[in-house]
Amino acid sequence: MDKKIPVRLAALPAALMLATAAQAAPVKIALLETLSGPQASTGQSFRAGVRYAVDKLNAAGGWNGAPVQLVEYDNQGGPAGASDKLKAAIADGVQIVVQGASSAIAGQITEDVRKHNLRNPGKEIAFINIGAEALELTGEKCNFYHFRLTGNAQVRTKVLVLGMKQAKALGSKVYAINQNYSWGQDMEKAIVDNAAAGGYVVVDKTLHDVNKIQDFAPYIAKISASGADNVLTGNWSNDLLLMMKAAKAAGLKADFGTVFLDQPGNISNAGDTALGHFIAHVFNGEAGGAEGARFVADYAARTGHHPVFVEPQAAFAIDMVADALRRTRPVAGALDVNAFARAMETARIRTPMGEMSMRAADHQVLLPLVVSTVAKDARYKVDGTDMGFKPIKVYSAEEAATPAQASCKMQRPAA
C-alpha cells in the first residue's frame, strides 16, 4: 500500500499533461506587477481588480472552452525586474501581459514586447497597460501590441478642470506641482494647456523628486506665497498625502485638484483637510446609478471590500480584453495574438459609467471619467471615515477625449 502512493503521484503530472494537450493550450495572462517593495500597495490594488475580472471572465466560460489562466509575477518595482520577469513569462507560454503601477516599467515592457514580436514572428505577445499614463506610451513609443486601458494626463486634466469649474471651485490663479518624471511632466504641460479652458493663469509650477521628500513645508510656503486659489497636481502616494498634510498644517486654504486622491489611506490620514478637494477618476459608484451600485455590491461580495483607487479601472480593462477574446477565433486550438490585437482595436464595452472603446489610431482607450469632490454626504464612505467621493459630473468618453498624438505612427502587421 505504502509503495503505491509514489507511483500514483508520479503519474499525476503525466496525466495532467495529457489532459492539457487534449484540451489545447489555454490562454495565459501574466500579471507583471509591483507586488513587493515600497510601491507594492499600488501593485496589489491592480491585482485585486484584475483577479476579480479574470474570475468573472472564467465564470462566463473562459476562452475556447477553457478557463483563462492568470499567472502572477513580481517585477519588484523596477524596469530591470520587469524585464527579467517578462522573459520568464514568455518562457512560461504567456501571450498577454498586464501591468499598471508604473510608467517607467510600462516603458520597459512595451519596448521589450516590441522587440520580442519583431524577432519572434508567429509567437507574438500583447501588452495590456492598465494604469501607466505617461503620454509617450501612446505617442513616440506607441506600437501595435500595446493597449492603454486607462486615462492619461491630458484627459484627466481636461475633465478635472471642467468639473472644478462647474462646481465653481476653480479660481483664477492655479499652482501646478508635480513629480519630476514622465507622468508629472505630462501633467504640468496639461495643466498649462488647459488654462484657457479653465479660465485661470498658472502662477507658478514646480517639479520635485518622486517619493523622496518627507517635508513638504517649503513647497507649501512657496504655494502660499504665490497666492494661488487652487493647486493642481498629478502626485500620488506619499507625495500627495504629505503635501495635503503640510498644507493643512500651514493653514493653506487652496482646494486641490488631483488624480490619485482615492488611494486608500489618503482620506483617513488627511482628515477634514481633504474636504472640498477634487479628483478626476475612472469610477464612482454613486455616479453610476443602479448599475454602479450593482458593480460595487458584486465587487464587495467577491473581494470583501468596495472597489477603490485603481481597482475599477483594472477590472474594466480586463473586461475589454474579455470582449476582444470573445471575438477572436482560435487557430489550431491556440490564441493568435495578431488576431486578438486586431480585435482589441475594436473592443467596446459598457461599464456602469458609460461606453468605453479602444481608439485604433494610437491604442488609447476612450473612457468616461468622473469628477468628484470629497464630502461627508457621499454615498460610499472610504477608509472607515465619514467622508467619501461625491460625484460632480460624469464626462462621457467623447467629452473627455483629446486627439491622438501626431507622434504615434502605428505599424500594423500584414493581415
Partner 1 sequence: MDTLLFGLLNGLIYGLLLFMVSAGLTLIFGMMGVLNFAHASFYMLGAYFAYTLQHALGFGPAVVAGALLAGGVGAVVERFFLRRVHHHGHAHELLLTFGLSFIVAETIKLVFGNFPVDYRVPPRLDGPAFAIGAQQYPLYRLLMGGVALLMFVLLYLLLTRTRVGIIVRSAIHKPRMVEALGHNVQLVFTGVFAVGAALAGLAGAVAGAFYTTSPNMAVETGVLVFVVVVVGGLGSLGGAMLASLLIGVMTSLAVSVDRSLADLFALVGAGAWADSVGGLLTLKLSSLAATLPFALMLIVLLLRPQGLLGEKN
Residue 225 within binding range of partner 1, rule CB under 8 A = yes
Binding status of residue 38 toward partner 1 by CB under 8 A: yes
How far apart are the C-alpha atoms of 317 and 309, rounded to whole Å? 14
**Radius of gyration, CA atoms only, the chain:** 22
Confirm or reject binding of residue 231 to partner 1 (CB under 8 A).
no
Work out which of 61, 218, 289, 413 binds partner 1, going by CB under 8 A.
218
Q: Return the residue of 24, 25, 40, 275 that touches partner 1, per CB under 8 A.
A: 40
DSSP, residue by residue, 193-244 = HTHHHHT-EEEEEEEE-TT--S--HHHHHHHHHHT-SEEE----THHHHHHH
* Residue the block writes with cell 468628484: 372
Q: Among residues 58, 180, 303, 396, which is the contact residue for partner 1, using CB under 8 A?
A: 180
Alpha-carbon torsion angle 310, 29, 343, 65, nearest 10: -120
Scan residues 265-284 and list those touching partner 1 (CB under 8 A).
Answer: 265-266, 268-269, 271
> Between 242 and 369, whose beta carbon lies closer to partner 1?
242
Binding marks (x or -) toward partner 1, 348..387, rule CB under 8 A?
Answer: -----------------------------------xx---
Beta strand extents in 228-275 (DSSP E only): 230-232, 255-258
For partner 1, the closer CB: 226 or 396: 226
Distance, CA of 415 to CA of 413 (rounded, Å): 6
Phi and psi (nearest 5°) for 21? -65, -40
Assigned C-alpha cell, 283: 469610477
Among the listed residues 150, 263, 351, 402, the single contact to partner 1 using CB under 8 A: 263
Q: Which cell is 193 given?
A: 494647456
Binding residue for partner 1, selected from 114, 208, 277, 363, defined by CB under 8 A? 208
Alpha-carbon distance of 48 to 374, in angstroms, equals: 24
- How far apart CA 73 and CA 85 sit, in angstroms, is 6
Among 1, 3, 91, 215, binds partner 1 (CB under 8 A): 215
Position 169 contacts partner 1 (CB under 8 A): no
Distance, in Å, from the CA atom of 326 to the CA atom of 134, rounded to the nearest integer, reads 29
Nearer to partner 1, 207 or 361 (CB): 207
Task: Give the binding site for partner 1 (CB under 8 A).
Answer: 38, 40-41, 44, 180, 204, 206-209, 211-215, 217-219, 221-222, 224-225, 227, 238, 241-242, 245, 249-251, 263-266, 268-269, 271, 383-384
